Amino acid sequence: MNRSLLFKNLDYLFNPRTVAVLGASDNPEKLGFHVMKSLTAGGFRGIIVPVNPKTKSIMGIDTCSSIEDFSGAVDLAIIVLPAEVVPAVFQQCERKGVKGVVLISAGFREIDDPRGAALQHTLFELADRAGIPVIGPNTFGMINLRKDLNASFTPEFSLIRKGDIAVVSQSGGVSHLLGFMAMRQNAGFSKIVGLGNHLNVDFSEMVSYLMDDPDTRALALYIEGMDRPGRFMEEMKKTRFTKPVVAYKTGSSRIGNQASVSHTGSLAGRHEIYQGAFKQAGVLFVESAEMLLDAAHALAHCPLPRGKKIAILTGQAGPGMAAADVCESGGLEIACFHAKTQRLINELLGPLAMRTNPVDMGPAWYNTPAIEGTIRAVLEDDSVDAVLILMMFASANRGAVAGFSRFLLEWKQQKPVVGCLLAPPGIWDKEIDQLEAGGAMANFPTPERAAKALSILWEYQRQISRL
Amino acid sequence: MNRSLLFKNLDYLFNPRTVAVLGASDNPEKLGFHVMKSLTAGGFRGIIVPVNPKTKSIMGIDTCSSIEDFSGAVDLAIIVLPAEVVPAVFQQCERKGVKGVVLISAGFREIDDPRGAALQHTLFELADRAGIPVIGPNTFGMINLRKDLNASFTPEFSLIRKGDIAVVSQSGGVSHLLGFMAMRQNAGFSKIVGLGNHLNVDFSEMVSYLMDDPDTRALALYIEGMDRPGRFMEEMKKTRFTKPVVAYKTGSSRIGNQASVSHTGSLAGRHEIYQGAFKQAGVLFVESAEMLLDAAHALAHCPLPRGKKIAILTGQAGPGMAAADVCESGGLEIACFHAKTQRLINELLGPLAMRTNPVDMGPAWYNTPAIEGTIRAVLEDDSVDAVLILMMFASANRGAVAGFSRFLLEWKQQKPVVGCLLAPPGIWDKEIDQLEAGGAMANFPTPERAAKALSILWEYQRQISRL
């Protein structure tokens, strides 16, 4: 299949007007039930066509007995049927002019039986001839949050906030993990794509497609192993630094590597080789799901720092020290303020405060102008490349975040501002949402993770400079 | 002051029948308002005595004009008054027979002015003469969650679940951080103690006291610097391994170390020296607030593994691989099951599953007996020292956790069971609470953090064996 047809049809796949569910069910024991629930409860605004010859209607929607019975055009077919009937169904899809397929069914290349691999090869040829991009097989599906399209067997994915990070993952488990983590720390995704056994849509295709996706500002990849890593690296080099790409790869351990072969049929390969090749290709390599989410969140919300000199402005000394340790070990340095900046801060904060960098704004909790003035002075100081703002809620400082957020939102951002503003659930959520949605800063669950995210922005800046 | 008097009075301090608030206020701009709110909203069941000569009643409670005006005995005095009046107030407390003080006021050793240090020295002598243990000065206070006693200026601390971890911290900011983290991941605390500038209650006293505290199973310390580290190490060696003690120490960086001096007046000192001395004293050293909470949570809920052979039972392959990598780098090894165990698992799980360790229970999502049987077989296999259970929610496996939790609760636990059971908020919360409250397992927010927590249990076991 040529690339331009593939990408044109991927556009239909992610933005369909009509979606058919082949294997739709009203039995909660079946995945076809959950897929129908994902589409309907997720608020999809196009036409949903449940296909099931044995039932008249599912979730209040009339069924068709086959996809070809539906009178209108179908852009996306989601298939949740036993593996052995899928080739015949693919041919129906081709005749119907379906543009894209999400193939949830399992029982292909991942099983021990060689018939699985043969079946997958048959599907590959059918899809190629028909020019149909296929997400899967053996996937939970995909979600285009910006279009309220949840084409997966997990309706709860629709609870994730709409955001700028596209997740492309070789594991359904890790996609769910990232989704639930995002819910808990209010990170937002544009798309979540479960590659499964990747018939004809693999990392290379998804990365190329997402580089032109207006909804996506950063890519987060979860990788177990690759069949053709060289091809991926070539693809990456073509588009590198167009948008930041972060990768988390498991299989560094002996056991993890063996498990990868069993899981997706792909050899995980030597961890260090991947790491080196990824760096060359401009991909940022991280070591955990938390770091994958944090790095993508920072890259989606912040410009890169021009240098390594940072300011730490903290509401309490302890979290500032914790952050300072992490920043220093991540290659960042604590900026020495210009004399004018330091003078201004000394005037604004009382003599009880630690006023040199890291600046303890604690004694100014009640004093919004002092906090705002300190932040402004530091942002305007050209000896500062990035700013870390830390504030633990403590009742008495309840108003502090609202106090400085208006200024931060108005400030035309040219430096990264990363923070850990942390309160019991519900207290600062609105202010933090506004700050992140307004592009004023990226927020993280702990001071150390905020500091690490800032270190990652700097690491990425250096990676760009070297290449 | 002799130790037995100190500990007797600390008992009153943490379990008072009557609490007086010197500096109580009905003005939300004052800390004395928040302290009153903490006590009343936190549900303290003893008598609360607001002391304020200018107001008749605060939050519906009649005030006294001085502590000596109150007719009954006062066990605990919380002081939120300007530093310069505190010596006179201490003398009133002595005359009144107060057993313990929480001194929230700032303006002592931590300020640049030498009068601060002089004032602190005066207080030390007064408290010593009177035999009164003092938490603080310059602290947010302390919370005894098991007694619904919130003696701090942050009422929201009462939202933390009652649990078995005692937090002793040199930073108010880090105490708040740990509290809000605990709320988000449902960890529970017994006590939270903010040492502040530690007049006569420092880490040594708190660790000794908590070793006999029936509500506390594990201690989590946040340390910036110590005045007399040798004394702490001696104290620790006396009681080491009675209960696990985990320490997170900042100030490893140049800047962090400087900040420590300004913050608490204590030199952070060489990080490596602390690390070595702590190990000798049986204290587990960790590198972040997340690890501090995770390690204490694991140690409070699990027995230690007798060896390094673990089983990974996972609902999805990807999270299992991520966990395997972390376990391996933490010195754990993937157990090779007994032939009998493997045969049983092969029978229980279908041929589609990865059935060797790490075991992918994915295809058995719907099959509670198969999951339960697999967990049982592995727990009963004496080639397995610890078990990691991972399960990402996916709609179709909604019932899986309830399915195996009954069995886990009944199983007489002799091996650590650590898990990452993760779902959108509200879905598995009840089951996970029951599992943790029943001592059946410890749960963590990501597979990697669960694996790291298990590695920490093993590290602690080795630390014990070596000493």
Sign of CA dihedral B183, B187, B191, B194: negative
Is the Cβ–Cβ distance between B130 and B90 less than 8 Å? yes
Examine the domain organization and report whether B285 and B324 are in the same domain. no
Phi, psi at B74, each rounded to 5°:
-120, 120
The residue out of B248, B281, B301 marking a domain boundary is B301
Nearest to A447 among B177, B392, B427 (CB): B177
Contact B177 A393 (CB under 8 A): no
pLDDT in tens, B387-401: 999 999 998 899 999
Instruction: Find the residue in B nearest to A391 (Cα).
Output: B173
Contact B224 A318 (CB under 8 A): yes
Average pLDDT value for residue range A382-390: 97
C-alpha to C-alpha distance for B147 and B388, rounded to whole angstroms: 34
Average pLDDT value for residue range B411-422: 90
Average pLDDT value for residue range A335-354: 90
Q: A245: domain CATH number?
A: 3.40.50.261
Contacts 24+ apart (CB under 8 A), B276-281: B277/B229, B277/B233, B278/B233, B278/B236, B278/B247, B279/B463, B280/B233, B280/B237, B280/B467, B281/B232, B281/B233, B281/B236, B281/B237, B281/B240
- Using a 10 angstrom Cβ sphere, with 0-12 exposed, 13-18 middle and 19 or more buried, the burial of residue B333 is middle
Chain centre distance of CA B63: 34
Q: What is the 3-state secondary structure (H, E, C) of A396-440?
A: CCCCHHHHHHHHHHHCCCCCCEEEEEECCCCCCHHHHHHHHHCCC
Chain B neighbors of A390, CB-CB under 8 A: 173
Contact B445 A314 (CB under 8 A): no
Q: Evaluate if residue B265 carries a pLDDT over 60.
A: no
pLDDT in tens, A157-198: 999 999 999 999 999 999 999 999 999 998 999 999 999 999
Question: Would residue B151 count as lying in a domain?
Answer: no
Phi, psi at A392, each rounded to 5°:
-90, 130
Confidence of residue A343 (pLDDT cuts 50, 70, 90): very high
Chain B neighbors of A183, CB-CB under 8 A: 424-425
Contact A321 B224 (CB under 8 A): yes
Chain A neighbors of B156, CB-CB under 8 A: 393, 395, 423-424, 427
Chain A 180-239, CB below 8 Å of chain B: which residues?
180-181, 183-184, 222, 224
Examine the domain organization and report whether A166 and A217 are in the same domain. yes
Among A213, A147, A204, smallest CA distance to A170 is for A204
Instruction: Find the residue in B nearest to A320 (Cα).
Output: B256
Instruction: Find the residue in B nearest to A182 (Cα).
Output: B424
Question: Would residue B183 count as lying in a domain?
Answer: yes
Q: Which tokens is B290 given?
A: 């997340």
- Using a 10 angstrom Cβ sphere, with 0-12 exposed, 13-18 middle and 19 or more buried, the burial of residue B447 is buried
Q: Evaluate if residue B381 carries a pLDDT over 90.
A: yes
Chain A neighbors of B318, CB-CB under 8 A: 169-174, 177, 222, 224, 250, 263
Phi, psi at A195, each rounded to 5°:
-70, -25
pLDDT of residue B261: 59
Closest chain A C-alpha to B125 CA, distance in angstroms: 25
Instruction: Find the residue in B nearest to A350 (Cα).
Output: B111
Query: How much is the ipTM here?
Result: 0.95
Contact B177 A320 (CB under 8 A): no
Examine the domain organization and report whether A310 and A426 are in the same domain. yes
Examine the domain organization and report whether B312 and B289 are in the same domain. no
Going by C-beta distance under 8 Å and a sequence separation of 6 or more, which residues neighbour residue A334?
A309, A310, A311, A312, A324, A327, A328, A357, A358, B255
For chain A, give the mean pLDDT.
93
Residue B331 contacts A where some CB pair is shorter than 8 Å: no
Q: A40: domain CATH number?
A: 3.40.50.720
pLDDT of residue A263: 56
Average pLDDT value for residue range B26-42: 96
Is the Cβ–Cβ distance between A7 and A208 less than 8 Å? yes
pLDDT in tens, B194-244: 999 999 999 999 999 999 999 999 999 999 988 888 888 888 888 878 999
Q: Evaluate if residue B262 carries a pLDDT over 70.
A: no
- Using a 10 angstrom Cβ sphere, with 0-12 exposed, 13-18 middle and 19 or more buried, the burial of residue A3 is exposed
Q: How many CB atoms lie within 10 A of CB B467?
A: 12
C-alpha to C-alpha distance for B218 and A88, rounded to whole angstroms: 61
Chain A neighbors of B366, CB-CB under 8 A: 29
Chain A neighbors of B31, CB-CB under 8 A: 396
Contact A154 B288 (CB under 8 A): no
Nearest to B173 among A250, A329, A392 (CB): A392
**What is the total count of domains within chain A?**
3
By residue count, chain B amounts to: 467
By residue count, chain A amounts to: 467
Q: Which tokens is A380 given?
A: 């305007």
Going by C-beta distance under 8 Å and a sequence separation of 6 or more, which residues neighbour residue B85?
none
Examine the domain organization and report whether B236 and B117 are in the same domain. no
pLDDT of residue B368: 86
The residue out of B103, B138, B173 marking a domain boundary is B138
Instruction: Find the residue in A nearest to B169 (Cα).
Output: A318
Strands A218-223 and A188-194: unpaired
Question: Would residue B263 count as lying in a domain?
Answer: yes
pLDDT in tens, A401-445: 998 999 999 986 689 999 999 999 999 999 999 999 999 999 999
Q: Which tokens is A188 given?
A: 């937002």
For residue B73, give the amino acid letter.
A
Sign of CA dihedral A269, A271, A272, A276: positive
| Omega within 30 of 0 (cis) for the link into A445 | no
Examine the domain organization and report whether B335 and B405 are in the same domain. yes
Q: How many CB atoms lie within 10 A of CB A270?
A: 12
Instruction: Find the residue in A nearest to B423 (Cα).
Output: A180
Cα–Cα distances (Å) from A400 to A220, A315, A396, B35, in that order, read 33, 9, 9, 19
Chain B neighbors of A256, CB-CB under 8 A: 321-322, 324-325, 328
If one compares B132 and A278, the residue with the highest pLDDT of the two is: B132
Q: Evaluate if residue A265 carries a pLDDT over 60.
A: no
Range of the domain at A45: 1-133
Question: Would residue B145 count as lying in a domain?
Answer: no
C-alpha to C-alpha distance for A115 and A285, rounded to whole angstroms: 36
Among A256, A158, A245, A252, smallest CA distance to A204 is for A245
If one compares A235 and A446, the residue with the highest pLDDT of the two is: A446
Nearest to B328 among A37, A183, A255 (CB): A255
Nearest to B180 among A156, A317, A423 (CB): A423
Residue B322 contacts A where some CB pair is shorter than 8 Å: yes
Residue A250 contacts B where some CB pair is shorter than 8 Å: yes
A and B: number of Cβ contacts within 8 A: 253
Examine the domain organization and report whether A14 and A101 are in the same domain. yes
Q: Which one of A392, A422, A444 would you mutate to disrupt binding with B, by most B Cβ within 10 Å of its Cβ?
A: A392
Chain B 98-127, CB below 8 Å of chain A: which residues?
106-107, 111-112
| Omega within 30 of 0 (cis) for the link into B303 | no
Examine the domain organization and report whether A455 and A313 are in the same domain. yes
Contact B396 A422 (CB under 8 A): no
pLDDT in tens, A46-87: 999 999 999 999 999 999 999 999 999 999 999 999 999 999
pLDDT of residue A269: 61
Choice among A99-103, A112-116, A376-380, B283-287 with the minimum mean pLDDT:
A112-116
Chain B 130-149, CB below 8 Å of chain A: which residues?
140
Average pLDDT value for residue range B133-162: 97
pLDDT of residue A260: 59
Examine the domain organization and report whether B295 and B334 are in the same domain. no
Residue B41 contacts A where some CB pair is shorter than 8 Å: no
Nearest to B173 among A154, A315, A449 (CB): A315
Residue A318 contacts B where some CB pair is shorter than 8 Å: yes
Q: Which tokens is B132 given?
A: 């009164």
What's this model's pTM, rounded to 2 decimal places? 0.95
The residue out of A301, A318, A344 marking a domain boundary is A301
pLDDT of residue A78: 98
Cα–Cα distances (Å) from A138 to A23, A135, A460, in that order, read 15, 9, 33
Chain A neighbors of B337, CB-CB under 8 A: none
pLDDT in tens, A117-130: 999 999 999 999 99
Contact A255 B422 (CB under 8 A): no
pLDDT in tens, A190-206: 999 999 999 999 999 99
Examine the domain organization and report whether B122 and B165 are in the same domain. no
Instruction: Find the residue in B nearest to A399 (Cα).
Output: B29
- Using a 10 angstrom Cβ sphere, with 0-12 exposed, 13-18 middle and 19 or more buried, the burial of residue A268 is buried
Chain B 58-77, CB below 8 Å of chain A: which residues?
none
Among A423, A426, A428, smallest CA distance to A401 is for A428
Examine the domain organization and report whether B446 and B403 are in the same domain. yes
Question: Would residue A153 count as lying in a domain?
Answer: no
Examine the domain organization and report whether B90 and B174 are in the same domain. no
Contact B180 A252 (CB under 8 A): no
Contact A328 B159 (CB under 8 A): no
Instruction: Find the residue in B nearest to A452 (Cα).
Output: B288
pLDDT in tens, A225-258: 888 888 888 888 888 788 999 999 998 777 666 6
C-alpha to C-alpha distance for B457 and B467, rounded to whole angstroms: 16
Q: Which one of B161, B178, B272, B392 would you mutate to disrupt binding with A, by most A Cβ within 10 Å of its Cβ?
A: B392
